Chain A
Amino acid sequence: METTAIPQQLAEIVDDFQALDEPDRLQLLLEFSRGLPELPERFREHPELLEQVVECQSPLFLTLEFAPLPERIVSLYFSAPQEAPTTRGFAGVLLEGLNGLPAAEILAVPDDVPERLGLTRAITPLRMRGMAAMLGRIKRQIRESPAA
């Protein structure tokens, strides 16, 4: 039998969104936007270490760090300007939902998770694609990392 591949910490966020009506979902996304932490200094001084997610409507940069084998715990880092709260909100959801998980668990996250937040009508499918692209690039960086 197939078990759900959504990690607990991400599943809780999806449930939180699903439990709200549309205006409150937007408000929750705004809270994730506000909660997105600043980049650590080592990245702020080296923007070339970050990858731009060009599918987002506003500049969004991300990078990953891996703890050693066997589990390869992933740390995620995002950067997006204050005037792009929707993009920041998507980043905030992925940070809280995926940060600190083993690489294999992140690779197993279904690609349609962004659609499960119930934001597509308010935010438009096009804008949601930016979030799907972030997830896609996180997975690709995991797959292409040397120890993969």
Chain B
Amino acid sequence: MVTIVLAERAPRMSVATDPHKKFAAYAHPERLVSTDWLAQNIGTPGLVVVESDEDVLLYETGHIDGAVKIDWHTDLNDEVARDYVDGEGFARLMSAKGISRDSTVVIYGDKSNWWAAYALWVFTLFGHEDIRLLDGGRDKWIAEGRSVSTDTPQPAATDYPVIERNDAPIRAYMTDVLQHFGNPLIDVRSVDEYTGARTHMPAYPEEGALRGGHIPSAASVPWARAAAEDGTFRSRDELDAIYRGEAGLKDGDDVVAYCRIGERSSHTWFVLQHLLGFQHVRNYDGSWTEWGNAVRVPIAKGDAPGEVPARA
């Protein structure tokens, strides 16, 4: 008789992880690489470097040698419905970018890795195992005077399998949030967006939310607090002080994070899930552009989180 042992699956890392001392304190140090590590590992078989930016032309001005570009809007979002691509679409994208199911993917981008974290979160919806962020992102690489290239790689197509998204573990829909009341919610937008003084980011365009404020009971922890001046993630101790200390999160908590369209909250999702080790963290990508327009959902204004509403 054959006994099959199903060991708990640790991520299968095809390229050695970065032993950087700062990362060792995080719950999942294998999810980050430093600029030093990346500089030494460019060209390692099995490694694909992906740039994902807010600015759609930034990659073209010069990118890390060999890096491919993935655009959050034209590549990861469905063109018609407000949703992500499906399994076939993702497999096509991965194939075009030279990514195999067992590739080690290192993602970096502008704005302290907002869009890189968003891309990493979308990769996670499809269960791609070995995905890492470049700590400090594009800005740190450039600030260190490291080389960039304007050559666009032409990777050989891969045979990436069609895997349907598994949203439930890490993605919350509006109906999930209405069922979530009583559990912690983290609003990662700016303080003025949280209080309802404004419905969009300072210096950013109005994106058409009809109401201002926040989801009642949500704690305000602007995403940027997790990033240091140079765009790298703050140390484990600093992050614990913010999220466990100030925001009061506890081990075992079921947490939902949101922002305006889900990109800044992907950054916070990464921090909670991979750096601090919370196991039930979901990103509500509908975020304020859905909630602030929805009919008859509760909204709180001002600095205080507000009462926990009844679950709908």
Name A residues whose Cβ lies closer than 8 Å to a Cβ of B.
26-27, 29-30, 33, 52, 54-59, 82-87, 89, 121-124, 126-127, 129-130, 133
Residues of B within 8 A of A55 (CB): 205-206
Residues of A within 8 A of B74 (CB): 121-122
Q: Is B73 interfacial (CB 8 A cutoff)?
A: yes
Give A9 to B74 CA distance when docked, in angstroms. 31
Residues of B within 8 A of A85 (CB): 55, 57-58, 60-61
**Closest residue to A29 on the B side, CB-wise?**
B57
The reply to whether A122 and B207 contact each other, CB–CB distance below 8 Å, is no
Residues of B within 8 A of A27 (CB): 60
Give per-residue flags for B56-86: 1 if the beta carbon is below 8 A from chain A beta carbons, else 0.
Answer: 1110110000000000011000000000000
Interface pairs A-B: 4 shortest CB-CB: A85-B57, A55-B205, A86-B57, A86-B55
Residues of A within 8 A of B57 (CB): 26, 29-30, 33, 85-86, 89
The reply to whether A83 and B60 contact each other, CB–CB distance below 8 Å, is no
The reply to whether A57 and B56 contact each other, CB–CB distance below 8 Å, is no
- Contact partner of B55 (CB less than 8 A), chosen from A54, A84, A129, A133, is A84
29 contacts between A and B (CB under 8 A): A26-B57, A27-B60, A29-B57, A30-B60, A30-B61, A52-B203, A54-B203, A54-B204, A55-B205, A55-B206, A56-B205, A57-B55, A57-B205, A58-B55, A59-B203, A82-B61, A83-B110, A84-B55, A84-B58, A85-B55, A86-B55, A86-B56, A86-B57, A86-B58, A89-B57, A122-B56, A122-B74, A124-B73, A127-B56
Task: Given A26-B60, A27-B60, A30-B60, answer yes or no on A83-B205 (Cβ-Cβ < 8 Å).
Answer: no
Give A33 to B60 CA distance when docked, in angstroms. 11
Residues of A within 8 A of B206 (CB): 55
Q: Is B18 interfacial (CB 8 A cutoff)?
A: no
The reply to whether B56 and A126 contact each other, CB–CB distance below 8 Å, is no
Given contacts A83-B55, A124-B56, A129-B205, 6 further A-B contacts (CB under 8 A): A84-B58, A85-B58, A86-B56, A86-B58, A89-B57, A126-B205
Residues of A within 8 A of B58 (CB): 83-86
**Closest residue to B61 on the A side, CB-wise?**
A85
Interface of B (DSSP majority class): loop
Chain A's nearest CB lies how many Å from the CB of B85? 15
The residue in B55, B58, B110, B204 that gathers the most chain A C-beta atoms within 10 A of its C-beta is B55
The reply to whether B205 and A130 contact each other, CB–CB distance below 8 Å, is yes
Residues of A within 8 A of B110 (CB): 83
**Closest residue to B74 on the A side, CB-wise?**
A122
Chain A's nearest CB lies how many Å from the CB of B261? 9
Residues of B within 8 A of A58 (CB): 55
Residues of A within 8 A of B139 (CB): 83
Residues of B within 8 A of A29 (CB): 57
- Within B138-192, the residues touching A (CB, 8 Å) are 139, 142
The reply to whether B205 and A26 contact each other, CB–CB distance below 8 Å, is no
Give A119 to B55 CA distance when docked, in angstroms. 14
Residues of A within 8 A of B54 (CB): 57
Give A29 to B142 CA distance when docked, in angstroms. 22
Task: Given A83-B55, A85-B55, answer yes or no on A57-B60 (Cβ-Cβ < 8 Å).
Answer: no
Chain B's nearest CB lies how many Å from the CB of A65? 25
- Contact partner of A133 (CB less than 8 A), chosen from B56, B205, B207, is B205
Chain A's nearest CB lies how many Å from the CB of B244? 33
Chain B's nearest CB lies how many Å from the CB of A86? 5
Residues of A within 8 A of B204 (CB): 54, 57
Residues of A within 8 A of B205 (CB): 55-57, 126, 129-130, 133
Chain B's nearest CB lies how many Å from the CB of A132? 10
Residues of B within 8 A of A122 (CB): 56, 74
Give A30 to B63 CA distance when docked, in angstroms. 14
Residues of A within 8 A of B60 (CB): 26-27, 30, 85
The reply to whether A126 and B55 contact each other, CB–CB distance below 8 Å, is no
Chain A's nearest CB lies how many Å from the CB of B122? 17
**Closest residue to A129 on the B side, CB-wise?**
B205
Give A127 to B142 CA distance when docked, in angstroms. 24
Chain B's nearest CB lies how many Å from the CB of A52? 8
Residues of B within 8 A of A89 (CB): 57
